[in-house]
Structure 1
Amino acid sequence: MTIRHLRIFVAVATAGKMCDAADQLFLSQPTVSQAIKELEEHYEVLLFERLGKKLYITDEGKKLLNYSKNILTEFDNIEKRMLEMSSKKSLSIGATITIGNCILPYAINDIKEVYPDIHISSCISNTKVIEEKLLTSELDIAMIEGNISDPNLISIPFLKDSLVLACNSKHKLAKKEELTIEDLKNTNFVFREKGSGTRELFEDYIQKSKIPINVVLQSNCPGSIKNAILINNFASVISIRLIEEEILNGDITIFRCSKNLLDRTFKIVYHKDKFIDSVMNDFINILKNYEDSHRLDNLPSKKLLVFK
């Protein structure tokens, strides 16, 4: 039994529903359910009666609730007083490359407005590397564009993104109003490296068509990918956020995938056992309130990429 168990228990008892408690604590519902199960097994009592979709606290649960509230109040007072002794706050943030270029700088500015003296360290890499650093506690929290498979990590969707097929305005593909996969057969591509969420999403889709894609250059640098599109006459599948300026200038033509098949959602990720202090909680709320999709939806060069 830990402080974390008691905090989850109090949240469930107060909310009356597992799902509401999970939302309040930024946890998944299975994590909350497991914590309650572990408490019940530890004390060998039933803490809640489950009738329909509603939870009703038992007499044993009411006793534990009273004890838990007192313990958590004392614990929070200890935390507050000890942290006040050292006013220096810190946050270690990870971000995958697209997010690191487009979202992270603004998110850091926003959290520094709340905590002007905060020390922030950041790591920008691909999804695989960021996942490993979260699991080894090298990072407090991260923003990723790929899929997380480890059950020890909690993932919260927070922002929509779109991958688009991009080429420079003089490329042969730019002359077309509509593309099919067949049109991409003899096109030279620049792609992100293996382990990238961007590459993974496109490869998962393209494998279904069984059309070979000619990748002549790999890079984990958005700037070099843009240069390869603009200067080397390569095509790429890239986040629309990374080429917004070039689209507006008319230097790059984009093809959007029909049926939103290359749309994705950026996610906030942290370890399920991570203690969420005030800094981390505020940072999560900053990210959850970030919204700019309406601007991206209205970008020019709205050509349609049809995958048949």
Structure 2
Amino acid sequence: AVSCTLFGAFASQFMALSSQAGVPGLQLIFLMKLTQLLCVLVILPFVRPKLTTEDAPQALTLSATTVTDNLGTVLMFLSFVYVVPGVAFGVIQGAIPVSTACVGFLFLGERLDAIDSGGILCSAAGVVLVAVGMSTAADSSSHPQLTLAIGILLPLAAAFTKGPNNVLMRSLLGVRGVSVVTVVLYVQLAGTPALLAATLLLETPHWAMSARTAGYVIGLGLCDTFSSLSVKLVLGQEKAGVTAALMTLVIPFTILLDSVFQSHVPNLLEAAGVTLVLLGTAAVGARTWWKHRQDSRRTWLLERMNFLTSQPDDVKHAAGL
């Protein structure tokens, strides 16, 4: 989870810097997805995963995952064009656990205990404060209200798309055992040509770039690739709601990078909202660590008891059984 958040923080900065250099947003997302597709095609011969679905429900889930993953990625990275990445992540990562937990409960029957629920609600309250802080900052600046509305709605739309996507991804990877490489391959095979068509129809692409801008674009593609693969590996091991809450660790990394690359310091309300999001994350993270520790100790004890009971009588006597 830590590596995923770190790569995600750098990807958001590269997206903002590339956009500021004049490269259109959809073109950047297309190049990002093209990079991820090429990386998957390179490792495909070495991994050799199963590329076909087992039944109709699995095929339907994979199709829905492809749509929500691509749509959520577009909405999330476009939000970095209108809002500094740290604030955008504050809204996105604070709202994702709410939508993920709700959908996870409805479709997978995943139940969260009181600590997990409290942490997620704390994160949601932080999102509200961040939105109010963004509105206050816009009132004291020259930003038009339309830009403010887009800057709030895009991250929220991304969050409520990423939430169901996390549940679908968890169903494929953690429940049905589909390979991460297979899922990423199908997602990028659908998203890459769709983004190319969108940027050609809706934008004026800038294919000629300076060396610095090209470096930003390459960094964007590589960081997003590592971040995407990492989060899918986490979803294969952990509940969708808990994974989404742990991913809010991206916020402090991004805010730190904002001060370096964007010269932006959050105002008081934004800082308070981000703090609530982080407190919610800390609660969920601590609960997850304790649960995994208890499960590991229980598994070790059961294996130990099974080993001893399978030994001859003299060994049992020596062990005190």
Whether TM exceeds 0.5 here: the answer is no
More strand by share: 1
Q: Which has the higher contact order (CA 8 A, sep 6+)?
A: 2
> Which of the two has greater helix per residue?
2
Q: TM-score range by the shorter chain?
A: under 0.3
Larger Rg: 1
